[in-house]
Amino acid sequence: MTFSPTNFDKVYSYIVILSLLLLSPLCYSQSSYTSLNKAIVLDQNNTPLEFATILWQDNQVDYTNSKGEFKIKFTNEFRPFSIHYANKQSIYINNLDTYNKYQNTFTLVDLSITLEQINIKAPSYTKQSGSNSAIIIDRQAIAQAQAFSLKDVLNNLPGHASVAPNLNSAQTINLRGASFDKLTGGSLQKMNNSFGVAIIVDDVNISNDANMQTRSLNQFGMVSGANTGSISNQTYQGIDLREIPTENIESIEVVQGVASAKYAELTDGAIIINKQAGATPFNFTTNINRGATTTNLSKGFRLAKNLGALNLSVNYSKSNSDPRDKVKSYTRISQNLMWTKSFGKNIKNTFSFSLSKRLDNVREDPDDQLGRKLKASDNFFRASNRTSIKLNTKTIKSLNLNINGSYGISKTYNQQRINKGPFPIANKDTTGIYQGYYVDGRYIAVEQIHGKPISIGATLNASSATFGQKIEHHLSMGASLNYHDNLGQGTIYKQDQPRWNQNSKGNDRPYDFRQNQAQLNIGAYLMDNFKSNLFNNPLEGNIGFRVDIQNQKISYQPRINLTYQPKPGSQITFGYGISTKAPSLAHRFPAPIWLDFPLLNFFDNSNMQNSLYLVKTVKIQTNNNHLKPSKSTQFEIGYSHQGKLFSNSVFAYFKNNKDGFGVKREYYPITIPEYEVIGDINQNQKIQYRPTGKNKTLTDYTIQTITNSVRSKSYGIDWSSSSKKIESLNLYISLSHSLSYSEYYDSNPTYNEVTQREVIDKYGVYYTKFNPAKTKSLSLMSKLSLSYHVPKIGFIITANSDVFWFRKSLNTQPLFANQYLDKNFKPITIDLEQDIKQSIVTGQNNYQQPIFYVVNLNATKEIRKNIRIGINTYNFFNIRINKEKELSDGSKSIIQYNAPFSITGSISIKF
């Protein structure tokens, strides 16, 4: 058998399955439990805290009851755990000595910068995703960000540039392997990467799979089709992070490496969000930055008569790109409700409901003679119910059932004044020859897209009790089901007033989303969280196997994360995993292709009704059920060390993505019949015509289809270092470096039409084929953060800097055509003379970024622990970095690498 990555994946899958079978004998008679302790969680007033979360190192989760109590089972070795509650400082118990200090009574204090120690960076052993390199952002860090949306918080991640808040443009997140953008020719890769990042809120995957708000793929392609003017509809990519406010988020876990087998529908990582649950005071927060304002009010109620806790929050955000004219604006309103209740000692239920409304609006500019107006709105309703049941039997310890659903109403509106002479229209929906008609070319063209995305999901997870002596096992398994559909009216056009007439040789027609099939994805997994010793040192991790059926294709996904502790405070980690992401409805069901071939065209300027436009229309259905899920394979090794003052970690990775979603553009030669006019053409008379019996071939028509053609390989090293508080200086220090190298290409070749008549006549060459271009990118970035903390007066000031050492990009493309084709689009062998070979200019997208840095400043003052006032500045010294770039056509453009000085004011009041 020839060795290949595919064969390796299969072999490794078998090894994982065999390992699970060998590691999972139910050795309950050998259980090593030695004692059972009852612990209690209190607040500062000694009031028991119900629904406090207990996270164990092996990813098991417990909750306190109405008396604030939970149970601790000791084994021969201590099990680290942490305790979390909304708006409280978490407690991390990492060894037996720390545990004994608390004597089973854990008091959680309110979050405040008047505390001597604040969590700048949470300890690494609390990761619920099972990923070695996951990064946790707790409530303290979220509040410090003074964020308008989730993206503002994520910009603080290593390798991510800090930017000024901007609510007027859609925001997605890209993780490892997406160091491309419009400057480096990788927009399609960025879309695929963000589409493969799962956004998981309270165990619910917020999916974009039912979004079909896109223009015709054949006319606009994938990148341009996902946008309506300056407004992004987020089709073919990840969800808009502007829609997720941060004020009611308790913690965020960012997975860039290998997630455990529990998680599905991701190829490039996950953002795992836990919202606040439990009794909390009223909290009013507002942020202001130039033309942007966001306001949030939240409260957690402890209900009487053991009815649990009710958490409510409402958020309102509004932004104008330029407050002077208010032409473009963005508005977001969201409301969230969460009801948590315990039913007896062993059942906890959480019901969540949210309403959100988004309006992107570009108003008509009085000075715009074209009368352009854009508007996009979303109204979403989401609900979920999570039930956790403790069984505590010998085989199953707990069951978790999650049922969720969402329904949205999405509308996109685009208008523009058309002012030109009469022109012909072809509007038939089927293939055939017919007479079109002429229309007056003066009107207001309206383009609309109406979508009603609906998603329904359910997951069932079960976990065993811990068992085994030499090797401790904690088995978990589960199954998931996700259903997606779109019940919208689709694209809406007035056919006699087209917005895009004869764009890409065709006129768009209405397209009803309701005619498409729904999408059903199902999956299951088995995983073992184990703990043992190797050479008398701890070895632990998770090894699992996942199977998903996506778009009727089966995907096998082994995943493993190992952690070895050669000495106290030091860890060596290894991760390997395969993950997949199903195509969305927009990928599977783009609008049909309509190509219009004019046969006769005569205009009667005395009477437009007597004009003749004889046309042949060809309709091509584009059902993409053949699409495979995109796939990612990732290796990761790491080392981390926690010293008395500093913690360091370094991770090296290799990620291979394939079967991403790209667009294949190819020519569509067609033979059409020729017609002739009978007699003379006279004004005010109908024109008669007939077929001549001859045919001709048209060679300049193209079609675009979606394929599994995007490939990328990424290599990188991430190093992070952070300190505990340096007491003598009241200082926290954090430093990170990210070095990455990526290769990206679309395996679809490039086709060009030959326009030289002499070449066509002499050699019979109508088209040329060029092998795919490959884009390479290399970058190095550092982030430095210094936080000066004075707890006595409730003050903290942070200076952080992004240093961009280098970023280089090279677009390599063959100089000469690799193949020549005849008029039927068939390859031919021909030896052309050197001076007439079809060529493409090489390296026109080469790009090199200069060295520069950006300094940001953040200051927060807390008054009586109830009022917090903050100022956050971007580019504090207002250092602007611009560079002139010469384009392929000889013109020049100015590249702006950073934005000007920006300041955000924030105030938070608890009452």
Cβ count within 10 A of residue 793: 11
User: pLDDT below 50 — which residues of the chain?
Assistant: 1-6, 8, 11-12, 15-16, 18-33, 122-125, 841-844
Cα distance between residue 305 and residue 762, in whole Å: 92
How is residue 373 written in tokens? Answer: 């107006």
Residue 252 to residues 33, 51, 201, 274, 511: CA-CA distances in angstroms? 33, 19, 9, 6, 40
- Give the model's pLDDT for residue 35: 57
For the record, the structure tokens of 736 come out as 């990170």
* E strand or H helix at 100: helix 96-102
Q: Please report the sign of the dihedral spanned by the C-alpha atoms of residue 610, residue 611, residue 613, residue 614.
A: positive
What phi and psi, each to the nearest 5 degrees, are found at residue 7? -65, -40
CA distance 86 to 402: 22
Instruction: For residue 826, count CB atoms less than 10 angstroms from its CB and return exposed for 0-12, middle for 13-18, buried for 19 or more.
Output: exposed
* Per CATH, domain 31-110 is 3.40.640.10: no
Detail the DSSP E strand segments found in 537-569: 537-550, 553-567
Quote the pLDDT of residue 352: 96
The CA distance from 60 to 78, in Å, is: 15
What is the helix, strand, coil percentage profile of the chain, to 5?
Answer: 10, 55, 40
Alpha carbon separation from 856 to 121, 790, 802, 840, 874 (Å, rounded)? 19, 20, 8, 43, 5
pLDDT on residue 843: 42
What is the CATH code of the structural domain delimited by 5-30+111-397+409-506+519-546+557-618+630-910? 2.40.170.20
Which pair of structure tokens corresponds to residue 111?
Answer: 């979050």
Structure tokens at 521: 């994805």
pLDDT number for residue 369: 77
Strand duo 612-620 + 105-107: pairing:
unpaired
**The one-letter amino acid at 578:** I
Dihedral sign (CA 202, 150, 91, 736): positive
- The bridge status of strand 827-828 relative to strand 442-451 is unpaired
8 A C-beta contact, residue 794 and residue 114: yes
What is the 8-class DSSP label of residue 388?
E
Reading the block at residue 733, the tokens are 């220090």
The total number of residues shown for the chain amounts to 911
Q: Spell out the alpha helix ranges (H) of 113-237.
A: 139-144, 150-154, 187-195, 217-225
Amino acid identity of residue 413, one-letter, is: Y
CA distances from 271 to 255, 538, 609 (A): 6, 29, 60
The domain ranges of the chain are 5-30+111-397+409-506+519-546+557-618+630-910, 31-110
**The pLDDT value given to residue 3:** 39
pLDDT at 635: 97
Tens of pLDDT, residue by residue over 13-30, are: 554 454 444 444 433 333
Q: Which helix (H) or strand (E) holds 615?
A: strand 612-620
**Which regions of 813-838 does DSSP assign to beta strands (E)?**
819-821, 827-828
- CA 197 to CA 180: how far, in whole Å? 16
pLDDT at 693: 92
pLDDT tens digits for 267-326? 999 999 999 888 899 999 999 998 899 999 999 999 988 899 999 999 999 988 766 656
pLDDT value, residue 125:
44
Compute the distance between CA of residue 74 and CA of residue 138 in angstroms, rounded to an integer: 28
Between β-strands 570-581 and 442-451, what pairing exists: parallel, antiparallel or unpaired? unpaired
φ, ψ of residue 700 to 5 degrees: the values are: -105, 20
Provide the 3-class DSSP secondary structure of residue 761: helix
Classify strands 432-435 and 231-232 as parallel, antiparallel or unpaired: unpaired
Question: Residue 57: which of 25, 82, 27, 85 has the closest Cα?
Answer: 82
CA distance linking residue 636 with residue 641, whole number of Å: 17
Structure-token pair, residue 118: 């604040």
Q: Which residues contact residue 703 at a Cβ distance below 8 angstroms, ignoring those fewer than 6 apart?
A: 218, 593, 595, 620, 665, 666, 668
pLDDT value at residue 402:
96
Residue 832 phi, psi (nearest 5):
-90, 155
Answer yes or no: are the C-beta atoms of 861 and 794 closer than 8 Å.
yes
